[in-house]
């Protein structure tokens, strides 16, 4: 089976590539990534020489490039991770998010329609549901929760989801969608909360926390997420949405304090900064559907996962140091520029 994995040089996409090559050794993985600021080719170094892996630098909005890839590789499955995903960046520049997250999704599905596939899977986010009140811990997002977006980022992802479902209904395209809670783990880009706090704490730099820090997120270890997507792609029902959550609700401020404790750093490093515009207060997912239909449950408790994540960043400074210095953006040309680009 041939799998096109878009955004495979990013955080969750790269972990999914590793998962697939390990769990499905006969599968061929074609990774398509534009290598924007968050796409780091060095992340894929462990698999670059794997005969069942191919990397192609391309933009999912580039119809000619995408059609050429489909003609060459004849994929059976497409898993679309490719997205602009940072809320703050979407507030500053919404247009880029609309282009990649909506037009790019449409381009991928048009290719699927033209060349035929067994399944197109859209990787989405629980942020399409908006937020939940802090004083109602009994409330959770289900697949039936109405879409109620708060940022240009979540609006672009919700738009893509609706488009995916429309392609299923109008054209009969075999699709599935997963909406996941916040991920954490290895290869997480350093602008995100957990890696940012780990790296700043290691350098005894201020730990910036938005507002009062009481915002609640449901955290899922990235490997658990990859298992869920694998199950949905192969066993999920066409046209269905599956919520993927970790049952690991944590306040942002408590996570930062845990990181300080684990690294032996003082909480005096914590600095409260002006809150993000439209900042959602609480996310919490009910994963009953994926558990009942596909038997999936998260395996990693947050207390264990955060320790593994901190240890990974301590052991892999050679991965994140070039990112915070900006040197990683030259990696493609240095190490791979002569190999392949569409």
Rounded Cα distance between 120 and 109, Å, is 7
How many Cβ atoms are within 10 Å of 261's Cβ, its own excluded? 10
How distant is the alpha carbon of residue 13 from its chain centre?
Answer: 6
Q: Which of 33, 59, 84, 126 is catalytic?
A: 126
Q: Which of 77, 120, 129, 153 is catalytic?
A: 153
**C-alpha separations of 162 from 47, 57, 106, 165 in Å:** 34, 27, 11, 5
Q: Is 126 a catalytic residue?
A: yes
Rounded Cα distance between 239 and 162, Å, is 11
Listed residue (179, 154, 57) closest to 101, CA to CA? 154
Q: Which of 127, 218, 223, 230 is catalytic?
A: 127
**C-alpha separations of 260 from 166, 307, 335 in Å:** 46, 12, 36
Q: Is 299 a catalytic residue?
A: no
Sheet holding 249-251, edge to edge: 182-184, 216-221, 249-251
Rounded Cα distance between 129 and 141, Å, is 7
Q: Is 153 a catalytic residue?
A: yes
Please give the positions annotated as active site: 126-127, 153
């Amino acid at each position: 089976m041939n799998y096109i994995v878009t955004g495979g040089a990013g955080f969750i996409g790269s972990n999914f590539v590793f998962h697939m090559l390990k769990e499905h050794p006969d599968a061929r993985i074609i990774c398509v990534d534009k290598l924007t600021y968050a796409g780091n080719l060095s992340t894929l170094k462990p698999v670059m020489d794997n005969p069942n892996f191919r990397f192609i630098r391309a933009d999912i909005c580039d119809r000619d490039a995408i059609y050429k890839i489909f003609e060459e590789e004849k994929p059976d499955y497409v898993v679309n991770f490719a997205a602009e995903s940072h809320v703050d960046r979407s507030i500053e520049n919404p247009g880029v998010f609309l282009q990649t997250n909506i037009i790019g999704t449409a381009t991928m599905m048009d290719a699927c329609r033209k060349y035929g596939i067994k399944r197109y899977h859209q990787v989405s986010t629980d942020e399409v549901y908006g937020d939940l009140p802090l004083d109602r811990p009994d409330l959770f997002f289900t697949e039936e929760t109405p879409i109620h977006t708060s940022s240009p980022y979540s609006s672009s992802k919700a738009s893509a989801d609706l488009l995916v479902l429309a392609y299923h209904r109008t054209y009969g395209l075999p699709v599935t969608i997963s909406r996941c809670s916040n991920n954490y783990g290895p290869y997480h880009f350093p602008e995100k909360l957990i890696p940012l706090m780990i790296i700043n704490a290691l350098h005894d730099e201020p730990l910036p926390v938005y507002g009062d820090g009481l915002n609640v997120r449901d955290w899922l270890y990235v490997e658990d997420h990859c298992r869920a997507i694998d199950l949905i792609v192969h066993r999920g029902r066409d046209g269905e949405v599956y919520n993927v959550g970790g049952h690991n609700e944590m306040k942002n401020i408590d996570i930062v304090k845990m990181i300080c404790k684990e690294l032996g750093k003082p909480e005096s490093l914590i600095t409260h900064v002006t809150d993000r515009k439209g900042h959602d207060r609480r996310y919490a997912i009910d994963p009953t559907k994926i558990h009942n239909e596909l038997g999936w449950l998260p395996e990693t408790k947050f207390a264990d996962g955060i320790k593994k994540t901190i240890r990974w960043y301590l052991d892999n400074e050679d991965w994140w140091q070039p990112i915070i210095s900006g040197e990683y953006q030259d990696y493609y040309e240095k190490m791979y520029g002569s190999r392949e680009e569409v």
